[in-house]
């Protein structure tokens, strides 16, 4: 497994692979790798002949400098996981190289995809995500890229970017991976302080309660309202949103429409750690 830090070296390494007609698949991450990331790598291994993983904590997508500064960094174990999973090349760039100098993100507007929910709670977040993904796509030039449904809104934003600016690239969405107790895996989970995990687990249990209640015939609005109350009452949990959406548009879903695959989405802060989760209705 090669580990490359400079984008000029990466371009050279990939040129050789393309010359050998290898199909390049790309898994962008911010490191602190876990099983969720590993599942993306495994999917990529199935679909392409050469897997590039990037590890880069992108400064322009953070709306809270405290979150950026405390973002976990575990490069040695990340490289170990990447090697075990059969990654061919790991790209670990510096911000100056990715951004050609000062890190800065252009404003982007994909309607509700960038302005609702995560976009509203974290203004500028998707500008930073789009900027870094566009730059990484241009550097790596993969034939397909792999993203998790864990970050459902981000996945849909990137699908939109792909259609608009990289029409020949395949964007592959991969299922959300959970810990055995149901908590959606996230690099930030290691920052949940001891004794607070049970409160965090309420997020997933409320999603499931709402899903089951709706399947049993309760109106979407009523199921959401009930679970919002439960989460708002849960100690150490600050609920940000709990909603049902059409994932293509991030329009709220109220249960009347018959088409599409509506998702329940939720965001909450537990002991200072912001967590998001979702499930298919
Ligand atoms: P991150 O390192 O958090 O930026 O995530 C890198 C990629 O891994 C993104 O496409 C995420 O959606 C994906 N990912 C993170 N956590 C999970 C998870 N629990 N299940 C599936 N994919 C995930």
When pLDDT is averaged across residues 128-151 and rounded to a whole number, the result is: 98
For the chain, what percent of residues have pLDDT higher than 90?
Answer: 91
34 tagged catalytic: no
Nearest ligand 1 atom, CA 185: 19
Kindly report the protein residue whose alpha carbon is nearest to atom 7 of ligand 1: 29
Nearest ligand 1 atom, CA 30: 2
Q: Is the pLDDT of residue 105 over 70?
A: yes
**How many angstroms does the Cα of residue 38 sit away from the middle of ligand 1?**
9
**How many angstroms does the Cα of residue 108 sit away from the middle of ligand 1?**
22
Average pLDDT, the chain: 96
Q: Is the pLDDT of residue 183 over 70?
A: yes
SS3 per-residue string spanning 1-59: CEEECCHHHHHHHHHHHHHCCCCEEEEEECCCCCHHHHHHHHHHHHHCCEEEEEECCCH
Q: How does pLDDT run across 187-208, given as a tens digit for each residue?
A: 999 999 999 999 999 999 999 9
Kindly report the protein residue whose alpha carbon is nearest to atom 18 of ligand 1: 36
When pLDDT is averaged across residues 213-239 and rounded to a whole number, the result is: 96
The catalytic position among 37, 104, 125, 199 is: 37
For the chain, what percent of residues have pLDDT higher than 70?
Answer: 98
**How many angstroms does the Cα of residue 9 sit away from the middle of ligand 1?**
26
Read off the pLDDT band of 89 (50, 70, 90).
very high
Q: Is the pLDDT of residue 258 over 60?
A: no
Read off the pLDDT band of 254 (50, 70, 90).
confident
When pLDDT is averaged across residues 221-241 and rounded to a whole number, the result is: 97
Residues in contact with ligand 1 by the CB-under-6-Å rule are 29-30, 36-37, 39-40, 147-148, 150-151, 174, 176-177, 184-187
* pTM for the model: 0.97
Q: Is the pLDDT of residue 74 over 70?
A: yes
Q: Is the pLDDT of residue 31 over 60?
A: yes
Q: How does pLDDT run across 45-64, given as a tens digit for each residue?
A: 999 999 999 999 999 999 98
Q: Is the pLDDT of residue 209 over 80?
A: yes
Q: Is the pLDDT of residue 34 over 70?
A: yes
Compute the distance between CA of residue 238 and CA of residue 200 in angstroms, rounded to an integer: 10
Nearest ligand 1 atom, CA 28: 6
When pLDDT is averaged across residues 248-268 and rounded to a whole number, the result is: 87
Nearest ligand 1 atom, CA 178: 19
Compute the distance between CA of residue 262 and CA of residue 251 in angstroms, rounded to an integer: 10
When pLDDT is averaged across residues 151-176 and rounded to a whole number, the result is: 98
Predicted local distance difference test score (pLDDT) of residue 136: 98
Q: Is the pLDDT of residue 245 over 90?
A: yes
Kindly report the protein residue whose alpha carbon is nearest to atom 6 of ligand 1: 29
**How many angstroms does the Cα of residue 196 sit away from the middle of ligand 1?**
22
**How many angstroms does the Cα of residue 261 sit away from the middle of ligand 1?**
21
Ligand 1 test: best mutation among 27, 28, 29, most atoms within 8 Å of CB? 29
Predicted local distance difference test score (pLDDT) of residue 101: 87
Compute the distance between CA of residue 75 and CA of residue 12 in angstroms, rounded to an integer: 23
Read off the pLDDT band of 257 (50, 70, 90).
low
Kindly report the protein residue whose alpha carbon is nearest to atom 15 of ligand 1: 36
Q: Which of 60-64, 153-157, 217-221, 269-273 has the highest mean pLDDT?
A: 153-157
Output the CA–CA distances (angstroms, integers) from residue 169 to 134, 144, 160, 178, 202, in the order listed: 12, 5, 12, 28, 38
Ligand 1 test: best mutation among 151, 172, 174, 265, most atoms within 8 Å of CB? 151
When pLDDT is averaged across residues 115-134 and rounded to a whole number, the result is: 98
Q: Is the pLDDT of residue 156 over 70?
A: yes
């Amino acid at each position: 497994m090669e580990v490359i830090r400079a984008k000029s070296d990466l371009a050279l390494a990939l040129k050789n692979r393309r010359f050998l007609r290898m199909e390049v698949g790309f898994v962008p991450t911010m490191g602190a790798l876990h099983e969720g990331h590993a599942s993306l790598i495994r999917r990529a291994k199935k679909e392409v002949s050469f897997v590039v993983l990037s590890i880069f904590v992108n400064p322009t997508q953070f709306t809270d400098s405290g979150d950026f500064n405390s973002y976990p960094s575990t490069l040695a174990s990340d490289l170990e996981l990447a090697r075990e999973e059969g990654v061919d090349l790991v790209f670990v760039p510096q911000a100056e190289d990715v951004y050609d100098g000062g890190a800065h993100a252009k404003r982007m507007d994909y309607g509700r995809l960038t302005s609702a929910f995560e976009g509203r709670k974290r203004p500028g977040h998707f500008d930073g995500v789009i900027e870094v993904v566009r730059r990484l796509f241009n550097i790596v030039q993969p034939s397909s890229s792999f993203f998790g449904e864990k970050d459902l809104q981000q996945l849909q934003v990137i699908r939109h970017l792909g259609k608009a600016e990289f029409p020949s690239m395949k964007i592959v969405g991969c299922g959300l991976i959970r810990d055995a107790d149901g908590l959606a895996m996230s690099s930030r989970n290691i920052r949940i302080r001891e004794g607070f995990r049970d409160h965090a687990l309420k997020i997933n249990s409320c999603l499931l309660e709402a899903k089951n209640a709706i399947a049993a015939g309760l109106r979407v609005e009523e199921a959401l309202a009930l679970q919002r109350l439960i989460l708002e009452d849960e100690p150490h949990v600050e609920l940000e949103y709990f909603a049902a959406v059409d994932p293509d548009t991030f329009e709220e879903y109220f249960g009347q429409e018959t088409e599409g695959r509506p998702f329940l989405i939720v965001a909450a802060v537990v002991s200072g750690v912001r967590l998001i989760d979702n499930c298919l209705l």
